[in-house]
């Protein structure tokens, strides 16, 4: 099966466990967490799963160099740099903004992991990838482009595989998940979770929480996800018609914009840290976790529901945003 052809990078399966203290506080809801902050690969996160398939594709194509892009505090770029170190590939990162006075958080880690970093000003979503690719080709390199966020169908397969992993855990723990909350930004995680949910018949109701207001690849995030679903259903032989209106993303919590830390994100980080000893990140998981808490407090989903929070990692960015988190 197509899901078996991957370059192993992760510590998988990641734990699935009950949040006892939080479930008591939000009773009668039952709250569980999937610990993709523990996937390994330079401190974990959701990109490990995508990179297992993307790096395999790069190697299959005989490539020797990876190019990808993101913000300076990109978790995707940090994990790509780590994956390249393991796979003996040269790594070029195109990061928005200008050379900072001090390297910190993910940027520091990407540097330590050996990536060659290019600062690209306003462009943090891969706008400069093509020109770098051409330059490297002229130097006789064989570059492989990983899109912004690792979000294409190849990357999304990592999350189809993640749902397969979850299903085995749910059977072993005799559990059924009613609602699944997670952060959605470049769409690959969401597309993979939707495809996996349908392929493995888990019947979870997905609540993706939008992190970034602006468009990706000149399209709305909903369109990006929709395109991956249509491509993926053929590859995975899922007999279902997807329509754009079915791709629902909750944008109520991203009013402040990408990477802007408000009292909400801070409150979410403190709540999970103080109740369960688990650290969120300040950009993605804190926003999604805040949304989940808000749903539970306002009883926006039926009482007694079993709820899963998919922790997608990102812990190193806390150090970069230290001043905002005090
Ligand atoms: C920690 C974390 N969570 C969630 C996401 C969102 O995943 P996706 O880009 O697949 O939507 C990202 C993306 O960079 C991330 O770094």
> Residues with Cβ < 8 Å from 277, sequence gap 6 or more?
none
> Residue 207: beta bridge partners?
181
Q: Where in the chain is the domain with CATH 3.40.50.1100?
A: 2-45+151-325, 47-149
Q: What is the pLDDT of residues 30-80, one digit of tens each?
A: 999 999 999 999 999 999 999 999 999 999 999 999 999 999 999 999 999
Question: Per-residue pLDDT tens for 264-279?
Answer: 999 999 999 999 999 9
User: Which neighbouring-strand residues pair with 119?
Assistant: 95
pTM for this prediction: 0.97
DSSP classification of residue 216: B
Which residue's CA lies nearest to atom 3 of ligand 1?
A: 312
Reported as a single tens digit per residue, the pLDDT across 241-261 is 999 998 999 999 999 999 999
Specify the fold of 2-45+151-325: Rossmann fold (3.40.50)
User: Mean pLDDT lowest for which of 27-36, 83-92, 116-125, 210-219?
Assistant: 210-219
Q: Which residue has the tokens 């466990």?
A: 17
Task: Provide the pairing of β-strand 116-119 with 90-95.
Answer: parallel
Q: What is the mean pLDDT of residues 78-95?
A: 98
Question: Which phi and psi (to 5°) does residue 83 adopt?
Answer: -60, -40
With a cut of 80, say whether residue 217 has pLDDT above it.
Answer: no
Question: Is the pLDDT reported for residue 230 higher than 90?
Answer: yes
Residues taking part in catalysis? 74
What would the mean pLDDT of 85-98 be, rounded to a whole number?
Answer: 97
Q: What is the pLDDT of residue 124?
A: 78
* Ligand 1 shell residues, CB under 6 Å: 45-46, 75-76, 149, 151, 183-190, 281, 284-285, 312-314
Domain 47-149: CATH class, spelled out = alpha beta
- CA-183 nearest atom, ligand 1: 4
pLDDT in tens, 283-300: 999 999 999 999 999 999
**Share above pLDDT 70 across residues of the chain, in percent, rounded to a whole number:** 99
Tell me the two tokens of residue 188. Answer: 């690959």
Written as six digits, the tokens of 108 are: 């520091």
Closest of 70, 20, 26 to residue 50, by C-alpha:
70
45 in Cβ contact with 39 (< 8 Å): yes
DSSP H helices in the chain: 20-25, 47-60, 75-87, 105-112, 129-138, 153-173, 188-199, 221-235, 263-276, 285-297, 317-320, 322-325
**Alpha carbons 33 and 20: distance in angstroms, whole number:** 11
């Amino acid at each position: 099966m197509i899901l078996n052809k991957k370059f192993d990078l992760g510590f998988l399966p990641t734990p699935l466990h009950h949040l006892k203290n939080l479930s008591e506080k939000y009773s009668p809801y039952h709250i569980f967490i999937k610990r993709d902050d523990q996937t390994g690969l330079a401190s974990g996160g959701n990109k490990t799963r995508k990179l297992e398939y993307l790096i395999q594709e790069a190697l299959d194509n005989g490539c020797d160099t990876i190019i990808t892009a993101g913000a300076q505090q990109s978790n995707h770029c940090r994990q790509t740099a780590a994956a390249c170190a393991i796979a003996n590939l040269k790594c070029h990162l195109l990061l928005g903004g200008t050379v900072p006075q001090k390297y910190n958080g993910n940027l520091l880690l990407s540097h330590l992991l050996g990536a060659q970093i290019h600062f690209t000003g306003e462009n943090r979503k891969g706008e400069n990838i093509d020109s770098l690719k051409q330059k490297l080709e002229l130097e006789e390199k064989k570059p492989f482009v990983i899109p912004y966020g690792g979000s294409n169908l190849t990357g999304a397969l990592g999350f189809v595989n993640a749902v397969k992993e979850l299903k085995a855990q749910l059977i072993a723990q005799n559990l059924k998940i009613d609602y699944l909350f997670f952060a959605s930004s470049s769409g690959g995680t969401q597309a993979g979770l939707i495809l996996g949910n349908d392929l493995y018949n888990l019947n979870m109701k997905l609540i993706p929480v939008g992190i970034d207001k602006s468009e990706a690849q000149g399209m709305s995030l909903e369109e990006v996800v929709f395109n991956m679903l249509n491509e993926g259903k053929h590859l995975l032989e899922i007999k279902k018609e997807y329509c754009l209106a079915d791709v629902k993303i909750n944008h109520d919590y991203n009013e402040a914009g990408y990477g802007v830390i408000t009292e909400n994100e801070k409150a979410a980080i403190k709540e999970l840290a103080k109740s369960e000893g688990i650290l969120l990140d300040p950009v993605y998981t804190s926003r999604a976790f805040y949304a989940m808490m808000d749903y539970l407090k306002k009883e926006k989903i039926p009482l007694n529901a079993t709820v899963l929070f998919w922790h997608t990692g990102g812990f190193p960015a806390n150090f970069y945003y230290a001043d905002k988190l005090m």
